[in-house]
């Protein structure tokens, strides 16, 4: 079950990172600065909160990450994708963990 949880967490991270890269490209190609600033603020706040609180989804899933701060940063990226998105993910992970 931990392998499935890891794959889900990594898939969500990749999706989030791709969306952020697309936004950054839009800033430079279309001049959509407002959206870029909003998303950069969301990422910054998410990562800051995860680092300050020590939130680490990988630790919570009993998955070893070599550097705990990396787990916090990745968790911050998940947090920055929005509380509803993260809530859905945690609900799904909790369902797979209890089965």
Record the tokens describing residue 92, joined without a space.
């799904």
In sequence order, the 6+-apart residues with CB closer than 8 A to the CB of 55 are: 49, 72, 75, 76, 79
Record the tokens describing residue 22, joined without a space.
């697309």
Q: Rounded distance, CA 72 to CA 54, Å?
A: 6
Q: Rounded distance, CA 20 to CA 28, Å?
A: 13
Q: What is the pLDDT of residue 2?
A: 66
Q: What is the pLDDT of residue 87?
A: 58
Q: Where are the domains of the chain?
A: 2-92
Q: What is the pLDDT of residue 96?
A: 59
DSSP 8-state assignment for residue 56: -
Q: Rounded distance, CA 83 to CA 78, Å?
A: 9
Per-residue pLDDT of the chain (99 residues; tens, 9 = 90+): 667 777 877 888 888 888 888 888 888 888 878 877 888 888 899 999 999 999 998 888 777 888 989 999 988 988 887 755 655 666 677 765 555
């Amino acid at each position: 079950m931990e392998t499935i949880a890891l794959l889900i967490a990594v898939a969500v991270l990749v999706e989030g990172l791709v969306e952020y890269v697309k936004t950054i490209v839009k800033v430079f190609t279309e001049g959509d600065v407002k959206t870029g600033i909003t998303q950069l603020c969301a990422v910054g706040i998410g990562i800051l909160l995860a680092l300050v609180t020590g939130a680490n989804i990988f630790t919570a899933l009993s998955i070893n990450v070599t550097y705990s701060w990396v787990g916090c940063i990745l968790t911050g990226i998940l947090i920055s994708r929005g509380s509803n998105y993260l809530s859905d993910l945690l609900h799904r992970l909790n369902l797979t963990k209890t089965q």
